[in-house]
Amino acid sequence: MVRAAVLSAPGESLRVAELDLPEPGPGQVRVRIAATGVCHSDLSLARGTLRQAMPVVLGHESAGTVVSVGEGVASCAPGDRVVLCWAPPDGTCWYCLQGEPWLCETSSSAAGTPYATVEGQDVYPGLSTGGFAEETVVSERAVLAVPDAVPLEHAALVGCAVMTGVGAVLNTAQVRAGQSVLVVGLGGVGLSVVQGAVLAGAGKVIVVDRSPEKLALAMSMGGTDALEAGGELAKQVRGLTERRGADHAFDCVGLADTIRSSWSATRRGGMTTVVGIGGKDSQVSFSPLELFHFARTLQGCVYGSTNPLVDIPKVLTHAAEGRLDLGALISGTVGLDGIDGAFADMAAGRGARTIVVP
Ligand SMILES: [Zn+2]
Ligand SMILES: [Zn+2]
């Protein structure tokens, strides 16, 4: 038995319970969780905005130590320090063969299969990971080694926020050295976009949020200009970019309003990458004439267009060698009984990333 925070239905509170976790089967690995970041997607899953089979153990941004391995597992062994990937590609589907493993057709299939029980009732692993627990069992493909120089509490964030944000800059938008970058929304993902932009050698890195604390944090990570949300964004950004607008914008909020204003704040021919996950009930509108005239690009971004096998080790190396400051993203630490509080902080826009240490 291990302790886990279990959600029975959307909208309810999490409940700490004893999870009966079976030993890993063929191709599976059992991991003792050192830390799990609280991601906005967990909040969306808990509220029912994103779908997930329930009851569920949420948490999909985890790192820990391998406890035991199932039959045929050769890529890791007990005692290994690992980060978990919530979307491990199969390498064989149409999208994987196209070189787009972040769109893999089966990468999230484990989330729909019960992996443990609580009081005899089946429980599902949130986003295939089940990180809000002392231990979990995942596919061998979801487990990647962490270098000794990176603490597991930092490595956990690479599983989702950091890979999404840094990947959005380096893989999806492919920001070039000297280009101007606008980052709207400075949670764990937005701050990772800021660090990714600095890594890419961006010129100006203009940061936008409604929280002065988060603006200050983003400036300490390499932001060059801070704008409090609520002003005329396009005009403010043109004022900082020789009247043109930014080369790149990253919307890390996902609201129709922030997507539209990010797009308007880019230059003619500029590119907006939507990293935030929005709802299905709002619409973003553009006039046909402005689409032609501004010749801008608006693109979606799933998991930072990440090839986990290649990109997660690369990002961990950047952290090990000091080019990414993952510790600076962590604004609080809670136990399994503190996750509802972390959700409330996130909904109110307080703090950067909270980690759960079970
Ligand atoms: Zn996430
Ligand atoms: Zn695939």
Residue 48: per-residue pLDDT: 87
Residue 279: per-residue pLDDT: 85
Q: How far apart are CA 243 and CA 56, in angstroms?
A: 50
Cα of 329 to ligand 1 centre, how many Å? 14
Cα of 200 to ligand 2 centre, how many Å? 28
Nearest ligand to the C-alpha atom of residue 159: 1
Q: How far apart are the first and last CA of the chain?
A: 14
Nearest ligand to the C-alpha atom of residue 97: 2
Q: Residue type for 61, please?
A: E
DSSP 3-state of 153: helix
Cα of 193 to ligand 2 centre, how many Å? 26
Six token digits for residue 113: 């299969």
Instruction: Walk me through the domains of the chain, giving residue ranges and CATH numbers.
Output: 2-150+326-356 (3.90.180.10), 164-302 (3.40.50.720)
132 DSSP assignment: S
Six token digits for residue 194: 């800021």
Cα of 62 to ligand 2 centre, how many Å? 22
Residue 320: per-residue pLDDT: 98
Q: Are strands 353-356 and 28-37 parallel, antiparallel or unpaired?
A: antiparallel
Environment of ion ligand 2 (residues, CB < 5 A): 89-90, 93, 96, 104
Residue 6: per-residue pLDDT: 97
Cα of 111 to ligand 2 centre, how many Å? 15
Measured CA angle at 255 (ends 57, 345), to 5 deg = 45
> Which residues in the chain come in under a pLDDT of 50?
none
Q: How far apart are CA 326 and CA 150, in angstroms?
A: 9
Residue 180: per-residue pLDDT: 98
Residue 233: per-residue pLDDT: 98
Give pTM, 2 decimals.
Answer: 0.96
Q: How far apart are CA 31 and CA 17, in angstroms?
A: 18
Cα of 152 to ligand 2 centre, how many Å? 27
Q: How far apart are CA 291 and CA 268, in angstroms?
A: 10
Cα of 240 to ligand 1 centre, how many Å? 32
Cα of 86 to ligand 2 centre, how many Å? 13
Cα of 303 to ligand 2 centre, how many Å? 14
Cα of 32 to ligand 1 centre, how many Å? 19
Q: Find the helix or strand (DSSP H, E) in which 264 lies.
A: helix 256-264
Q: How many Cβ atoms are within 10 Å of 347's Cβ, its own excluded?
A: 11
Cα of 237 to ligand 1 centre, how many Å? 29
Does residue 208 contact residue 262 with C-beta atoms inside 8 Å? no
Nearest ligand to the C-alpha atom of residue 308: 2
Does residue 297 contact residue 272 with C-beta atoms inside 8 Å? yes
Residue 206: per-residue pLDDT: 98
**Phi, psi values for residue 173, rounded to 5°:** -90, -25
Measured CA angle at 66 (ends 63, 69), to 5 deg = 135
CA proximity to 209, closest of 69, 349, 86, 320: 349
Residue 307: per-residue pLDDT: 96
Residue 224: per-residue pLDDT: 98
